[in-house]
């Protein structure tokens, strides 16, 4: 192979010449090369960049979104790491990271291509991929970034079902001075109907346009076909795909002129919640962009669907939603249709769902979920590919233990800044902003709250350090010796009235966050408008009165989060005072009945504890 020759007309930001390796791809607007000096990097050169694009390329490396991934082998966004300049000092391209061992969504959504790697790419795997894609969109949208040119080719998937967004130099992003840098390209079949036929240079796109493209990508991934695939029943020649999108003739819309073709996967094979979101995106969302499901809604629904997958009793490589009365893949085969998930040549790793869930937690930056899984499933530490993470998981375990101690202290003695600051001295890891992105206190990030208290402690005399003792009837938080794969709040005996702090009048609100049975506990979030002593409370089944979690009387300031084991079956929970006489001291406001109903009954990991 010919050695790369440095280009005397291409430079990095430090004025060093760049060497181009082999040409990899030409899109018409830009050409992608292997970096001549670093196999882990690529160089993308734009053919005729406009002045606006040059400005954008110059700024992009400094505008990188926060990537929450805790796994150094995975990045959620292949964001430009440097700008490429010509000999006139103008930006003409970017340096990008390589995403090794990955393939596009197009490749894995095709059943025939999947069949070559059927052992890993089953229905469970596709749901894990879909959830990870939705997370990418959710994360970028939360940071004000619009992808713009949404298409399967720009999303790469690895063997661990983790997703990485590429072609990030084309995204729409806001400059430091508020100037919007547009995404000036789009792809047929994935462009929102309100943008079809318009120039992408007209103005900035909004999140709603991304939401349409996301729904199309997810539909194609799960069903193997573009949403607007079918037999035209209207007059004249069949319209183009973009024309069908603008007309709203989706095959599963009542009265549509496009009819599903025989053998096409129907919505009945999907989880009801997923099918409902597709209808919302392609029927109501076709008329009103504001009706399209958000990336967060997709992420939540896909995680729930993932948790509710059952294994077929006849063919263990078939997975389907627990709400279905029979395996849809077996039904297809009996009807003479191809098996979309054929039996693999080699047995599937029985721990694959567990490993995918653990990898997903790390990619999302969910420290608590990753630690919960690691603690509850020792088999993870014995996996060859995960042994490299043992030192890091020890560090994360320490971080969660420290966090739980700090949250407990904050809830009990929020006014004792010196005591809280002393814990920060013992556990400086609490100030790491990368570890606790999925948790907050009083609406502030953990790192922000910890840092503010540590700074405040500098201005006051330190208090003597003392051991924090649990109350007489504590809520059991997660411990490293837990035998369960998720933290469980163990119900305690009803406390003696004489030992309880005296309740003070106040207003308590609560909400319930669903959990993933066998993966992550559900959580009860309590919040008060002003500091007060809350009476003993019970979270229980609204119909049977069965206790799920007991909370002792205690002083509460701001908000606190309490984990508890997700109940079996579908159950509606309600928070009540343990003693009727305490109702006069506290007003309790809860969410709607629907928001208090938990329904994750499927075992994502039916083997977690037993097989570990």
DSSP of 221-262: HHHSS-TT-SEE-SSSSPPPHHHHHHHT--TTSTT-SEEPPT
Mean pLDDT on 220-242? 94
Task: Return the structure tokens found at 386.
Answer: 């995960």
Distance CA 586, CA 584 (A): 6
Q: Residue 249 in contact with residue 193, Cβ under 8 Å?
A: no
The topology under which CATH files domain 474-612 is Immunoglobulin-like (2.60.40)
Residue 3 predicted with pLDDT over 70:
no
Residue 95 predicted with pLDDT over 60:
yes
DSSP-derived pairing of the beta strands 180-181 and 173-174:
antiparallel
Q: Which has more confidence, 581 or 20? A: 20
Q: Residue 454 in contact with residue 448, Cβ under 8 Å?
A: no
Mean pLDDT on 279-292? 95
Task: Give span(s): CATH 2.60.40, the chain.
Answer: 474-612
Residue 501 predicted with pLDDT over 70:
no
Task: Give span(s): CATH 3.30.200, the chain.
Answer: 1-98
Mean pLDDT on 73-95? 95
Q: State pLDDT tens for residues 204-225.
A: 999 999 999 999 999 999 999 9
Q: State pLDDT tens for residues 441-483.
A: 777 888 888 888 877 766 544 444 444 333 333 333 333 333 3
Question: What number does CATH give the domain 1-98?
Answer: 3.30.200
The alpha carbon of 372 is separated from its chain's Cα centroid by a whole number of angstroms, namely 17
Q: State pLDDT tens for residues 308-344.
A: 999 999 998 899 999 999 999 999 999 999 999 988 8
pLDDT at 464: 46
Residue 504 predicted with pLDDT over 80:
no
pLDDT band at 396 (very low <50, low <70, confident <90, very high): very high
Q: Residue 452 in contact with residue 558, Cβ under 8 Å?
A: no
pLDDT at 111: 86
* DSSP assignments along 313-372, one per residue: SS-TT-EEETTSSS-HHHHHHHTT---SSPPPSSPPPTTHHHHHHHHHHHHHT-HHHHHH
Residue 409 predicted with pLDDT over 90:
no
The DSSP element (H or E) to which 107 belongs, if any, is helix 105-109
Q: State pLDDT tens for residues 173-199.
A: 999 999 999 999 999 999 999 999 999
Mean pLDDT of all residues belonging to the chain: 85
Residue 6 predicted with pLDDT over 70:
no
pLDDT at 496: 37
Task: Return the structure tokens found at 111.
Answer: 């059943």
Task: Give span(s): CATH 1.10.510.10, the chain.
Answer: 101-308
pLDDT at 415: 62
Task: Return the structure tokens found at 544.
Answer: 């049977």
The alpha carbon of 98 is separated from its chain's Cα centroid by a whole number of angstroms, namely 22
State the residue for tokens 């009860």: 524
Residue 32 predicted with pLDDT over 80:
yes
* DSSP assignments along 487-549, one per residue: ---PPPPPPPGGGSPPP--EEEEEEEE--BTTTB-EEEEEEESS-EEEPPEEEEETTT--EEE
Distance CA 203, CA 181 (A): 9
Residue 113 predicted with pLDDT over 90:
no
Proportion of the chain above pLDDT 70, given as a percent: 86
Question: What number does CATH give the domain 101-308?
Answer: 1.10.510.10
Q: Which has more confidence, 558 or 231? A: 231
From 530, 512, 531, select the one nearest 522 (Cα to Cα).
Answer: 512
Mean pLDDT on 418-432? 82
Residue 230 predicted with pLDDT over 90:
yes
pLDDT at 582: 77
Distance CA 167, CA 149 (A): 9
Q: Which has more confidence, 608 or 40? A: 40
């Amino acid at each position: 192979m010919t050695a790369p020759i440095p280009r005397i007309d291409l430079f990095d930001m430090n004025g060093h010449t760049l060497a181009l390796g082999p040409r990899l791809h030409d899109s018409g607007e830009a050409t992608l090369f292997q970096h001549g000096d670093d196999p882990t990097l690529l160089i993308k050169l734009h053919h005729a960049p406009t002045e606006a694009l040059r400005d954008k390329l110059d700024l992009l490396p400094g505008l990188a979104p926060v990537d929450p991934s805790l796994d150094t082998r995975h990045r959620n966004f292949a964001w430009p790491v440097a700008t490429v300049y010509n000999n006139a000092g103008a930006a003409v391209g970017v340096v990008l990271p390589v995403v090794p061992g990955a393939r596009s969504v197009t490749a894995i959504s095709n059943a025939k291509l999947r069949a070559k790697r059927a052992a890993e790419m089953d229905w469970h795997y596709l749901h894990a991929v879909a959830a990870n894609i939705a997370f990418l969109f959710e994360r970028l949208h939360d940071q004000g970034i619009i992808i713009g040119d949404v298409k399967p080719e720009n999303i790469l998937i690895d063997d661990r079902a983790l997703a990485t967004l590429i072609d990030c130099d084309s995204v729409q992003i806001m400059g430091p001075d508020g100037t919007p840098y547009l995404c000036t390209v789009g792809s047929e079949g994935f462009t929102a109907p309100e943008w079809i036929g318009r120039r992408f240079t007209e103005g900035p796109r909004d999140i709603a346009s991304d939401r349409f493209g996301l729904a199309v990508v997810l539909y194609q991934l799960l069903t193997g076909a573009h949403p607007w695939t079918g037999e035209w029943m209207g007059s004249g020649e069949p319209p183009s795909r973009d024309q069908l999108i603008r007309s709203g003739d989706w095959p599963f819309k009542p009265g549509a002129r496009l009819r599903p073709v025989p053998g096409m996967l129907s919505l009945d094979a999907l989880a009801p919640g997923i099918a409902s979101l597709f209808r919302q995106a392609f029927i109501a969302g076709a008329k009103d962009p504001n009706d399209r499901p958000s990336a967060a809604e997709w992420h939540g629904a896909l995680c729930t669907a993932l948790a509710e997958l059952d294994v077929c009793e006849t063919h263990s490589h078939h997975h389907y939603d627990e709400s279905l009365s029979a395996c849809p893949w077996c039904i297809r085969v009996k009807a003479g249709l191809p098996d979309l998930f054929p039996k693999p040549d080699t047995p599937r790793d029985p721990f694959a769902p567990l490993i995918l869930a653990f990898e997903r937690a790390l990619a999302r930056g969910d420290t608590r979920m990753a630690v919960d899984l690691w603690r509850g499933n020792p088999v993870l530490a014995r996996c060859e590919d995960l042994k490299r993470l043992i030192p890091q998981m020890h560090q994360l375990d320490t971080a969660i233990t420290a966090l739980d101690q700090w949250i407990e202290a904050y809830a009990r003695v929020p006014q004792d800044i010196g005591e809280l600051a002393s814990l920060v001295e013992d556990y400086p890891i609490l100030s790491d902003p990368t570890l606790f992105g999925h948790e907050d206190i009083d609406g502030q990030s953990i790192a922000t709250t910890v840092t503010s208290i540590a700074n405040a402690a500098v201005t006051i005399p330190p208090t003597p350090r003392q051991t924090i003792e649990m109350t007489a009837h504590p809520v059991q938080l997660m411990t490293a010796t837990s035998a369960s794969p998720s933290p469980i709040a163990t119900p305690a005996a009803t406390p003696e009235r004489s030992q309880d702090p005296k309740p003070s009048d106040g207003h308590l609100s609560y909400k319930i966050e669903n959990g993933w049975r066998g993966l992550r506990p559900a959580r009860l979030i309590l919040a008060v408008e002003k500091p007060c002593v809350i009476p003993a409370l019970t979270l229980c089944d609204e119909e049977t009165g069965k206790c799920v979690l007991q909370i002792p009387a205690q002083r509460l300031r701001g908000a606190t989060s309490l984990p508890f084991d997700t109940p079996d079956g579908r159950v509606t929970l309600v928070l009540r005072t343990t003693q009727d006489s305490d109702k006069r001291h506290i007003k309790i406001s809860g969410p709607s009945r629907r928001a208090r109903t938990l329904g994750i009954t499927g075992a994502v990991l039916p083997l977690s504890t037993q097989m570990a």
